[in-house]
Amino acid sequence: MSSARVEFFFDLSSPWTCLAFANLWPMLERTGEAVLLRPILVGGVFNAVNPAVYAARADDGNRRLQHSWKVLSDWAALAGVTMRFPSQYHPAKSVNAMRMACALEDDQPALRAFAAGAFESYFGRQENLDDSDVLVAVANAAGLDGEAIRAASVTDANKLRLRGNTDELIERGGYGSPTIFVDRTDMYFGNDQLPLVEAALKR
C-alpha cells in the first residue's frame, strides 16, 4: 500500500465522515499529498473507548445533538453533498459495508470508488447500508465486481483485517470516525478539523 502522509480511518455509516470524505480530495489536491484510506468498524471503537456516544443518542432532549442536525445540513450544503439523514436505517449497522470496504483496501482507487458510491447510497438515496445486495449494486455501479467483493469480504482473513484496523485506531488514540493522521502520529478528528490537517501538511 501507499506510504501516503495522510491516513483516513473511516466508517461508512457516519454522516460527518461522508462530508469529510467529500472535502478530503480537494484538500489533497491543494497540498499535493496522497491519502491511505483505512476502513474500520466505528461501533467497535465506541464500545472500547467512547460509549458516551450511545447515551447522547438516547437523550431526546440533548440540545447539542439537536443542533448538530442543523450544522450537518449547513456543512452538506457547503460541500455540495446530498444529505438526506437520518433515514429509517439510522443508526445503521455497517459491518457488511466495512468488510466489503476492507476487502478493497489494497486497491485504493477501487476503495475510493466504492466508498463514494456507498455514501451516496446511504446518505443520498436512503438505502440500507447493511444490505449486502445494495452494496453489491453500489460496487457494480462503480465499475467493480460486486459479487467478488462480497465473497472476499466474508473470509476469515478479511474479517481479521477489519478488526485489526479498528484495534489499531484505538491503540493510536482514535475515538471515532473519521480519524485522520498526518505523518503517523499527528491526529485529527472530524470534518471540521480538515483545515487543521491542511495546515499541518503545509508546515
Q: What is the pLDDT of residue 13?
A: 95
Cell 470534518 belongs to 191
Q: What is the pLDDT of residue 84?
A: 86
Strands (E), the chain: 6-10, 35-39, 179-182, 186-189
In this structure, the strands spanning 6-10 and 35-39 are parallel
Of 179, 189, 190, 13, residue with least CA distance to 89: 13
Per-residue burial over 58-69, b = 16 or more CB atoms within 10 Å of its CB, e = otherwise: eeeeeeeeeeee
The single-letter code of the amino acid at 18 is: C
Tens-digit pLDDT profile for residues 76-96: 999 999 988 888 878 888 999
The parts of the chain modelled with pLDDT lower than 70 are 1-2, 50-59
Q: What is the pLDDT of residue 103?
A: 98
Q: Can you give the pTM of this predicted structure?
A: 0.92
Q: What is the pLDDT of residue 16?
A: 95
Q: What is the pLDDT of residue 22?
A: 98
Q: What is the pLDDT of residue 181?
A: 98
CB atoms within 10 A of CB 75: 20
Q: What is the pLDDT of residue 57?
A: 59
